[in-house]
Amino acid sequence: MKIIRIIGRGIKDAGKSVFRNFSLSLASISSTAITLIIVSLAIIFTYNVNSITKHIEDVLTVIVYVEKGTDETDVNTLKEHILYNDNVVSESLEYKTPEDIKASIPDSSDLKNVLNILDENPLKSTFVFKVKDVKKISDTANEVRGFDHVAEVKYGESVANKLVSMLEVIRNACVITVIALIFVTWFLISNTIKITIFSRRNEISIMRLVGTSNTVIKLPFLVEGLILGILGSLIPITLTIFGYMFFYDFTGGHLFSEIIELVNPNTIVYTTSLVLLIVGGLVGMVGSLNAVRRYLKI
């Protein structure tokens, strides 16, 4: 009962303080809101960069052209050699004969007409596979190139490679930005609450003099930080949900071209909102505790 009364009092006092020091609360809420909006943007951006990277990695395949006239035994040996490489996704490995390739070319295509005219199919049989780690794609391609009966090895080559590594840099930059912004939010809330606490230092010193335990003194400030953090996260959450949904609909789910596909809002906005709520609340509490601690020394 005693604990319930103390907690109840802490929550009541925190609520009163938020309204009593309304202008300061508003300053704290808005600074939190602004930083959390940027945090939200960075999170959504990171999600999309991740998804684009994954998409590119998925479509990136290695094509191995087998020399003409290679018999079946040698083709099988080559297949085993390719599968032996750790970076090759074994399930993705596919063997296509010249006839398979010819069949896969649409009838309307000029190439098909040319092929139809020729007596002999000039196409080479191929192995197509995906790699586990795109960064090692050129090593893998070079290794395969050295195998017997390999005429040529082709993959997305430098453009795809550069794009993937560039996206990775962007993703890392986003993660660093999110972490930095969380610190900024913590700093802002901590400072705003410091001002609130400064105006209440008299009250704190009286509480200490009359024998109030430090935990009980901290409690209302902890709850106040939590309230401010949560209130500060509401606007960013609303903007995240509706803003991203609008953006997704507006762009039709694609950015610049069909290749850059945006992540479906339903899969990310709620997770991002939850992250914002937790970050806002936690950072509010930690910032508040940090601010009150200096008045509880001695």
Partner 1 sequence: MAFIELNHVFKTYSNGVTALADVNLQINRGEFVFVIGESGSGKSTLNKLLYREEKVTKGNVMVGGVNVSKLKNSNVYKLRRKVGVVFQDFKLLPKLTVYENIAYPLETYGLDSAVIREKVMDAVERVGLKDKIRSYPNQLSGGEQQRVCIARAIVNRPKLIICDEPTGDLDPKMSREIMDVIEKINKELESTVIMSTHDKEIVNRMKKRVICIHNGVVVSDTEKGKYLEYEDN
- Enumerate binding residues for partner 1 (CB under 8 A): 1-3, 5-6, 9, 202-203, 205-214, 216-217, 296-298
Tell me the CA distances in angstroms from 105 to 108, 111, 114, 123, 154, one per residue in order.
9, 8, 11, 12, 19
Which is nearer to partner 1, 215 or 264 (by Cβ)?
215
Cβ–Cβ < 8 Å for 187, 72 = no
Structure tokens belonging to residue 115: 């092929």
The least CB distance from residue 212 to partner 1, in Å, is 4
* % helix, strand, coil for the chain, step of 5: 75, 10, 15
Q: Which residue, 90 or 205, has its beta carbon nearer to partner 1?
A: 205
Shortest distance in whole angstroms from residue 196 CB to partner 1:
15
- The minimum distance between CB 295 and partner 1, in angstroms, equals 12
Q: DSSP labels for 37-61?
A: HHHHHHHHHHHHHHHHHHHHHHH-E
Cα angle value 50/54/58 (rounded, 5°): 170
Nearer to partner 1, 19 or 250 (CB): 19
Q: Which is nearer to partner 1, 142 or 213 (by Cβ)?
A: 213
- The CA dihedral of 261, 262, 266, 269, to the nearest 10 degrees, is 160
**CA angle in degrees (0–180, nearest 5) for 74-120-66:** 25
- For the bound state, the minimum distance from the C-beta of residue 21 to partner 1, rounded and expressed in Å, comes to 12
The residue among 20 and 55 lying less far from partner 1, judged by its C-beta, is 20
Q: Which residues, listed in sequence order, are joined to residue 154 by a DSSP beta bridge?
A: 63
Minimum CB distance to partner 1, residue 189 (Å): 25
Question: Is the CB of 172 or the CB of 212 nearer to partner 1?
Answer: 212
What's the closest the beta carbon of residue 192 comes to partner 1, in angstroms? Answer: 21
User: How many of the other CB atoms lie within 10 Å of CB of 85?
Assistant: 17
